[in-house]
Amino acid sequence: MGKRQVISKNNNIYISGEEDFEPKHIFENGQAFRWEENGGDYTLVADKYVIRVKKLAEAIVLENAGSMKDYEDFWRKYFDMDRDYPGLRRELSQIDNKLKMATEAAVGLRVLKQDLFEMIISFIISANNNISRIKKSIEKLSELCGEKICEIDSKAYYKFPSVSAIADLNPDYLAEYTGVGYRAPYLVKTGKMIENAEVDLGLIDKLDYEAAHKELMRLAGVGPKVADCILLFGNSRDMAFPVDTWVIKVMNEYYLGNEKNSKRIKAEGHRRFGDKAGLAQQYLFYHARENKLGTKK
C-alpha cells in the first residue's frame, strides 16, 4: 500500500492507499448505530449525510458523501483520518501478546469521532439493551423528531434530533413510539439539562478526562460506562475505557481472572494500556465479541 490518496468525483469520495479501513470492523463494533449492512456495503447516516461505504480492491468509496470540501470539513474527522493506525497497532502489539492478537484480528478498525449529543442519547438508550433494539429505537427517534434528509428507494432518512427536539418530547409517547422503555424519562431529562445549560456540553472539550467524565455522569441515565462511551466516541478521549459485559469477559479471561467490579477493571485497563486504553479497548471488544469469549457455545 502506498501513500493515502483522496479524490472526489460525481459526489463520491475515493480513498486509496489506506491499509486501515475495514467497514465491518469500523461499524460492527458497537460505536455507531445508524448503519445498515447490505452485501458487504454499509449505508450510513451521519450528520446531514446518507452515504454508502464500499470497500473495493483499489479504494474505499464513500458514495454520495460529497466533494473534497465535505471530506475536509466532515469525513476526515469523522473517520479519524489523521490518526496513524498502522503505528497504533504496532504500539499496542508491543504491550502484550493478547493485544497483539486482538489488533491483528481487527485490522482496519477505526474509532469514529461522532457528534457529542448524538452519542449521549444513543448510549443512554444502549444501557441494559441489545444492539438490534438500540438501532431500531434510534431510527424511530430520528423519524419522530429529526429533520428529514432524503428518500432512497422510497425509504426516508432523518437527521439525528436536536437537543430541543428531544427536550420537548413527552416521555410516555417517546417510550411508546421508540420502544426505549424506562429510559424515556432519562432521555427527556437529559435533553432539558443540556438545553438549559445545567450541563454545558461546550465545557466537555475543555475539562480533563476525569472532570469531563464526572460532568457527563450528572446527566440522567448516564453512569460510568455510558460516560466513557460518550467520551471515546463523541469527544476523542483515547483514555476513556468503557467497561461493559464484553470488556469484563475479555479482561478477566486475559488479565484478571474473576474481577466483577467495573471500577477496578477500568483501573487495570488504565494501568496496562495507559492513555491509549480506549483504543486498546476497541480492539479487545471486537475480538471478545467475535469469539464469544467467556460464553458457552
Partner DNA sequence: GTCCAGGCCAGAC
Partner DNA sequence: GTCTGGCCTGGA
Q: Which residues are catalytic?
A: 225
Tell me which of 68, 101, 144, 220 binds DNA, using CB under 7 A: 220
Give the alpha-carbon dihedral of 59, 65, 66, 68, to 10 degrees. Answer: -50
* 61, three cell numbers: 468509496
Residues touching DNA, count (CB under 7 A): 39
Strands ordered across the beta sheet of 12-16? 5-9, 12-16, 60-63, 49-55, 41-46, 35-38
Among 293, 288, 286, residue whose Cα is nearest residue 107: 286
CB closer to DNA, 4 vs 133: 133
Sign of CA dihedral 188, 194, 199, 202: positive
226 binds DNA (CB under 7 A): yes
Q: Does residue 46 interact with DNA by CB under 7 A?
A: no
Please select the residue that binds DNA; options are 245, 271, 274, 275, rule is CB under 7 A. Answer: 245
- Of 130, 154, 206, 258, the residue at the interface with DNA (CB under 7 A) is 130
| Nearest distance in Å: CB 129, DNA | 6
Among 83, 224, 276, 291, binds DNA (CB under 7 A): 224
Closest to DNA by CB, 100 vs 133, is: 133
Minimum distance, C-beta of residue 275 to DNA, in the bound complex (Å): 18
If one asks whether residue 114 binds DNA (CB under 7 A), the answer comes out as: no
- Is residue 179 a contact point for DNA (CB under 7 A)? yes
Residues that bind DNA (CB under 7 A): 29-31, 123, 126-133, 175-176, 179-183, 186, 217, 219-227, 229, 242, 244-246, 261, 263, 285, 295
